Structure 1
């Protein structure tokens, strides 16, 4: 019988870090291919209960059940986009009012700066003209990058449903592949890992949807109270963009401020909108996220922030969205592998009540 090789701690640590670096390098190198696959995997896990219900309970063929799940999910997304497009069309019809209110708001800003910082309006306009000229010089590069990003988005919108459909069809095939990679005595552990990954991803995505709904309702209600037009649309946009960590709420705030100019350009309305966004974010970050999100994925805030930053640097917004579920999957795997259990504990949010070092005193030699 071959005995397993016992490696010292520093060797195990080096191998773990080397594997982590290799995976990170491969992801950064092939992010345009890997990111849609991971997004499709998350959507497939989310749709798996519906797929199983159609296939087992209603006796649908595998291909028809998978196609129905994908079409149902696509119809849900398209329905939201259609609603938003109709509302945006109404906002576009108020473009003249928006332009007029923007000019009035800019004049108020000029007067405020002139009165409080003693900078003349002419100097302010001169500075704005300089900034505008510098931005125009870089407009060609910005337009080119925008076109590339738009083409990548359209490609992802086409390929992700196909990947999701294939994941649902070949679910059992992939599970058998994983079973062939491990020893038979570890099949129970593999089954436990896969079931926990399924539960964790489902809980995470459902929690995100619930958080999105609550943020949308709170924002829409707050905007309605302060008298903002199109409060339903702006609340929905805020809830959707809130799914993007850090930058999503900033983009939603800019859109809300812009849309508020359809009614009036008064500074008090803009300040009220900022107050509503701040209050909603405080409720979201201090109440909704700890109760709804963190309780499901069991990842501590420190690891979550680092993961989101690394995901954003590696794959942009998609990487930021994928960071938390990927960390949750890694934690589940680490918790069930004895040699990696310490890393799973490091990623978790288990805070011990008290920890003291126990030092054994050596017996005095004669």
Structure 2
């Protein structure tokens, strides 16, 4: 048994590149785990700069000097941030405030609907609906108070976010401007013979680059369409629902299933049972079907190819380790692992 384990270890870990990859993985995991919160602006800026690099390269192909392309990309980023914080965020924030203000009305309406439920059920008398109603109403009231207290207690976090708001774009600019200098600096810390590292990085760069750009387009398209459809149908909180439906595409399968709940609840509490509710639900599912069967194949034809089970497992594992950001980056991290496993050197040792 020990001979078999030793042979397997020699087959897969005898190559120097394998040792380098293991060291890099351990070092990166340690840094993120222990210093991730402190380095959050640097990590965020690195990711944004990586996404903007594709746009910079596009401008360079159009015979625009790199420094000019960097400035153009930077101003595009500033424009997007201004739209988000001055245009979209106030609307969504206002709708969240309205929701918290209307929550007591929702609680009363939900309580009345549940109290009348036994009259509509053949075996209604057999169920202890009074206890269920009291429990649900209590939970909803507690939820509203929790959300309100969270919004008040999050003021220090908002101050920190404002600091990041100025720091992250500045870092993005320097990451793009001094890209070659930074890469040269990093190369000094890895072996000169890095054939395997180059192969892994090339594969990861191609897949994750396509994935992140495609995912950004998908979020914008799905969120925008959802907002306009719900707005045209007169659904309250259309901007808020558009944002969460757009963000739900970050987690394939799971995200769409989770966001279905608030969409149905918002429509039900506003329209009650009826054709309007059926239209809202039907159109929402049509959007999801078009996203999965039309938009995704177009945007991700050259991106990651992970089995749905692998995606769910990655979301569970990385989400359990790093919370929201683990869920957010579950698929890119799974792609990195897949690329490493595919490119991992294996040199079977001859039998003695």
Fold shared by both chains (TM-score > 0.5): yes
2:103 and 2:144 in contact (8 A); partners too: no
- Out of 203, 208, 233, the residue aligned to residue 201 of structure 1 is 208
Q: Structure 1-normalised TM-score?
A: 0.66
Q: Identify the residue that residue 48 of structure 1 maps to in structure 2.
A: 53
* 1:321 and 2:328 correspond: yes
- CA 1:270–1:25 in 2, change beyond 3 Å: closer, same or farther? farther
- CA 1:279–1:92 in 2, change beyond 3 Å: closer, same or farther? same
Q: Secondary structure at the match of 2:208?
A: helix
- CA 1:21–1:305 in 2, change beyond 3 Å: closer, same or farther? farther
Q: Which moved more, 1:244-253 or 1:168-177?
A: 244-253
1:244 and 1:321 in contact (8 A); partners too: yes
Deviation track 1:189-213 (CA, whole Å, cap 9, x = no partner) reads: 6555555444333311221133224
- Out of 73, 78, 92, the residue aligned to residue 74 of structure 1 is 78
Q: Identify the residue that residue 8 of structure 1 maps to in structure 2.
A: 7
1:101 and 1:261 in contact (8 A); partners too: no
Q: Identify the residue that residue 309 of structure 1 maps to in structure 2.
A: 316
Cα distance in 2 for partners of 1:134, 1:99 equals 11
1:135: Cα distance to partner?
A: 6.4
Q: Identify the residue that residue 36 of structure 2 maps to in structure 1.
A: 31
2:111 and 2:137 in contact (8 A); partners too: no
Q: Identify the residue that residue 241 of structure 1 maps to in structure 2.
A: 247
Cα distance in 1 for partners of 2:119, 2:129 equals 7
1:82: Cα distance to partner?
A: 3.7
Deviation track 1:196-243 (CA, whole Å, cap 9, x = no partner) reads: 444333311221133224433663576478x33368636632443224
Cα distance in 1 for partners of 2:96, 2:78 equals 26
Q: Structure 2-normalised TM-score?
A: 0.68
Cα distance in 1 for partners of 2:330, 2:174 equals 23
Q: Secondary structure at the match of 2:306?
A: coil
Task: Count matched residues.
Answer: 329
- CA 1:54–1:259 in 2, change beyond 3 Å: closer, same or farther? same
- Out of 109, 127, 134, the residue aligned to residue 135 of structure 2 is 127
Cα distance in 2 for partners of 1:84, 1:143 equals 18
1:193 and 1:336 in contact (8 A); partners too: yes
Asked which structure has the greater RCO (Cα within 8 Å, sep 6+), the reply is 2
1:172: Cα distance to partner?
A: 0.8
Deviation track 1:286-315 (CA, whole Å, cap 9, x = no partner) reads: 665566447512333333222222222222
Stretches of structure 2 that go unaligned for 5 or more consecutive residues are 1-5, 348-352
Cα distance in 1 for partners of 2:315, 2:74 equals 28
- Out of 78, 84, 104, the residue aligned to residue 88 of structure 2 is 84
2:48 and 2:172 in contact (8 A); partners too: yes
- CA 1:148–1:234 in 2, change beyond 3 Å: closer, same or farther? closer
* 1:172 and 2:171 correspond: no
